[in-house]
Amino acid sequence: MKKIILYLLTIGLAAVALTGARAQEIRIENTINILGQTKPVPVALDGFTGEAAEVLKFDLYVQGFSFVTPEAAQYLIHGSDAGSVAGTVTDKIARKVVLSRSYNGASLRRQAHAFADDIVEALQNKKGIGQTKIAFKSQPAAYGGGEIYIADFDGHGAQAVTTDGAIVAKPAWVPGKLALYYTSYARNNPDIFYHSLSSGQRRVVAGYSGLNTSATVSPDGAKIAMILSKAGSPNVWLCNADGSNLKRLTTGLEDSSPTWSPDGQWICFATKIAERRRLAKVSVDGGPVHTLNTAGVSNPTEPDWSPDGKWIAFTRQAGDFDICVMPADGSLPPTVLVAGQNPSWAPNSRTLVFNHEIGHREVLSVLDVFTKQYKDCARTVGSNSQPAWAK
Amino acid sequence: MKMNQLVFPLVIALAATLATTGCKKGTPKTTPLPGQRAYVGNPNDNAPTLPPANPFNPDNVPGSKPGSIETAGLDPFKDMTMDPAALAANTVHFAFDSAVVKQTEAANVSAVAAALAANASDKLEIDGHCDERGTQEYNRALGERRALALREALAKAGISPDRIRTISFGKDKPADPGHDEAAWSKNRRGEFILLHPKAGV
């Protein structure tokens, strides 16, 4: 009898041990993010001034946070920027400090970006975008010649990549590298250039008679897809990064703006099928063109595939322009988000950069697709458009 | 009672309890270590200056190497002078979002064909343009389709396509920078630039 009791006690203890362990590991997961309707995570900032405060607010806002009083906040972000940036993040609900760090080196602005990244990593378990870069096209007017620029993702520290005084278009980053492809009319023809930012060396990789434009780089950087009209109509073509091994991928009559899938298997592009403008995809090995589900949205163009493979952002041309996002698998029709065009995804697959018109001039802006919060970039000189986010 | 028979499973159970509940995963409830210090970078690498772009080498294009199969296709148009005035009156206009050459433009196409037929050594550049209502890349492709449609129309009129190059400017060179249909209708166009061989070539 005593043996049985003792064995039961043992089992009982073991059971307590196991359930106890599981209870400790239960975490409340974030609610599923819904395009345009997700509530931002409320935080309260305290102790930051001037540039550091501006950077923290910009970075956090476009990654899905909002700024409220300490009473209403879920997290308290407290710190200082006298001399250098330092701060702590307190989880009010769990009542504990989840991040405590101080920064040195580089500039105050860069430190604030680094702190924002650490906050995002602690609260979203995701790499922040505070220290990433964009490339874009800048023109004095809304049309005509311009130059390719790069800048911090928020528009600060812009530098000219070209000084040719020619018409330019559609910069595209080589993934993981300081190198761009872009279209330039510097040779009095729309040509696609490859340009190494670290050396300044560049060469024409597609300079055929007719149109050469809209280069997009494969995830491994080995190939590009682009629009060439050398066969008599604008179509999607592939070639190696240096322009060799040219291969025609589509034969439709009205193809434009290809984008690579992050798994390197598909090219999504804008085209016309059965008299209607659609988005479609084709395998990089060639073959049939598959129409994508853009139900309810007319004239879709300029698609961009998110790095995690889940979303395709694009522009709706319907008199005005709108940024739309849809699941890449077609499971839902697109969601129209904000006015604008030319979306390019950040590495976090929730923020994107685009341009929208203010007073007949294009302005770069950064949008969080889940909360629909967006903020214009700093650069206010000229007309800035066709941004590409470095990944 | 044999104690060792009972002690062993008890010890296991106790050890299991301690192992799973004693080591708390996740952030502890105790105060964390005072702020970790993070080094963000060299003060000088904040915004490294880009080296200037080299003036591109016009010969550095695919197909320019001897013996290659593909050529850039633009060599036949080298060393020619542009004469934009000759056919300026024959600019062809297009409907919104369309590259179809309208019937009403037949006279313009004929005039251009006649000019090219008159001088066998002349060539032609067709510039395709759009109004501002499409995205830049969409318009760049649409402008090209307009230029190509005009080249096809000229082919039907007996002019070899080899004599014609197309350039799309999308919406980058409007004839009228206004923002209404009066301006837009002027911008949706194909312009013809006659090319003459340079004297002495």
3-state secondary structure of A179: strand
CB contacts under 8 A, B 121-150 vs A, are: 132-138, 140-141, 144-145, 148
Interface check B12 vs A, CB under 8 A: yes
Whether B21 sits inside 8 A of A20 (CB atoms) is yes
DSSP A224: E
At A88, which amino acid appears?
A: T
Residues of chain B with pLDDT > 90, as a percent, come to 59
Which residues does chain B have within 8 Å of residue A244's beta carbon, measured at their own beta carbons?
A: 62
* Spatial separation of the C-alpha atoms in residues A181 and A202, rounded to whole Å: 9
Q: Give me the pLDDT at residue A3, please.
A: 75
C-alpha dihedral, A137 to A143 to A144 to A147, nearest 10°: -10
Q: What is the DSSP secondary-structure string of B90-137?
A: G-EE--TT-----GGGHHHHHHHHHHHHH-TT-EEEEEE---TTS-HH
Q: What is the ipTM of this complex?
A: 0.88
pLDDT band of B79, cuts 50, 70, 90: confident
CB contacts under 8 A, A 71-100 vs B, are: 86, 88, 94, 96-98, 100
Q: Give me the pLDDT at residue B7, please.
A: 65
Q: Name all domains of chain B by residue range, CATH numbers in brackets.
A: 77-197 (3.30.1330.60)
Cβ neighbours of residue A203 under 8 Å, at least 6 residues apart? A193, A194, B56, B57, B60, B61
Q: Give me the pLDDT at residue B89, please.
A: 97
pLDDT band of A319, cuts 50, 70, 90: confident
Mean pLDDT over all residues of chain A? Answer: 92
What average pLDDT score do residues A108-124 get? 96
Question: Which among A2, A20, A143 has the least Cβ separation from residue B172?
Answer: A143
What average pLDDT score do residues A291-300 get? 93
Q: How far is B179 from chain A (nearest CA, A)?
A: 9
Q: Give me the pLDDT at residue B61, please.
A: 53
* Spatial separation of the C-alpha atoms in residues A244 and B40, rounded to whole Å: 40
Residues of chain A with pLDDT > 70, as a percent, come to 93
Q: Which of A186, A248, A314, A104 is nearest to B55 (CA)?
A: A186
* Spatial separation of the C-alpha atoms in residues B125 and A367, rounded to whole Å: 42
Main-chain dihedrals φ then ψ at residue B17, nearest 5 degrees: -60, -45
Over residues A65-88, the pLDDT tens digits come to 999 999 999 999 999 999 999 999
Which residues does chain A have within 8 Å of residue B72's beta carbon, measured at their own beta carbons?
A: 207-209
Judge whether residue B63 has pLDDT over 50.
no
Q: Give me the pLDDT at residue B27, please.
A: 39
Q: Give me the pLDDT at residue A276, please.
A: 92
pLDDT band of A33, cuts 50, 70, 90: confident
- Indicate the range of A195-209, A249-263, A285-299, B21-35 predicted with least confidence: B21-35
pLDDT band of B73, cuts 50, 70, 90: confident
Q: How far is B135 from chain A (nearest CA, A)?
A: 7
Cβ neighbours of residue B144 under 8 Å, at least 6 residues apart? A210, A211, A229, A234, B128, B166, B168
Please, which residues bridge with residue B168 across strands?
B128
Q: Which of B92, B83, B154 is nearest to B122 (CA)?
A: B83
Which residues does chain A have within 8 Å of residue B175's beta carbon, measured at their own beta carbons?
A: none
Q: Give me the pLDDT at residue B42, please.
A: 62
CB contacts under 8 A, B 32-61 vs A, are: 32-43, 45-47, 49-54, 56-58, 60-61
Q: Give me the pLDDT at residue B70, please.
A: 38
What average pLDDT score do residues A189-215 get? 94
Over residues A333-371, the pLDDT tens digits come to 999 999 999 999 999 999 999 999 998 899 999 999 999
Q: Are A226 and A192 in contact (CB under 8 A)?
A: yes
3-state secondary structure of A323: strand
Which residues does chain A have within 8 Å of residue B170's beta carbon, measured at their own beta carbons?
A: 169
Whether A256 sits inside 8 A of B20 (CB atoms) is no
Please, which residues bridge with residue A283 across strands?
A266
Over residues A127-179, the pLDDT tens digits come to 999 999 999 999 998 889 999 999 999 999 999 999 999 999 999 999 999 99
**Residue A212: enclosing H or E segment and its boundaries?**
strand A212-217
Mean pLDDT over all residues of chain B? Answer: 81
Which residues does chain A have within 8 Å of residue B145's beta carbon, measured at their own beta carbons?
A: 233-234, 253-254
Task: Establish, for the pair of chains A and B, how many residue pairs have beta carbons separated by less than 8 Å.
Answer: 249
Over residues A1-20, the pLDDT tens digits come to 777 777 666 665 655 555 54
Over residues B139-186, the pLDDT tens digits come to 999 999 999 999 999 999 999 999 999 999 999 999 999 999 999 999
At A381, which amino acid appears?
A: V
Q: Name all domains of chain A by residue range, CATH numbers in brackets.
A: 41-124 (3.40.50.11830), 133-389 (2.120.10.30)
Identify which has the larger pLDDT, B27 or A31: A31
Q: Give me the pLDDT at residue B30, please.
A: 38
Interface check A307 vs B, CB under 8 A: no
Please give the structure tokens belonging to residue A43. 């935080």
What average pLDDT score do residues A42-59 get? 97
Please give the structure tokens belonging to residue B100. 């179809």
Which residues does chain B have within 8 Å of residue A17's beta carbon, measured at their own beta carbons?
A: 13, 16-21
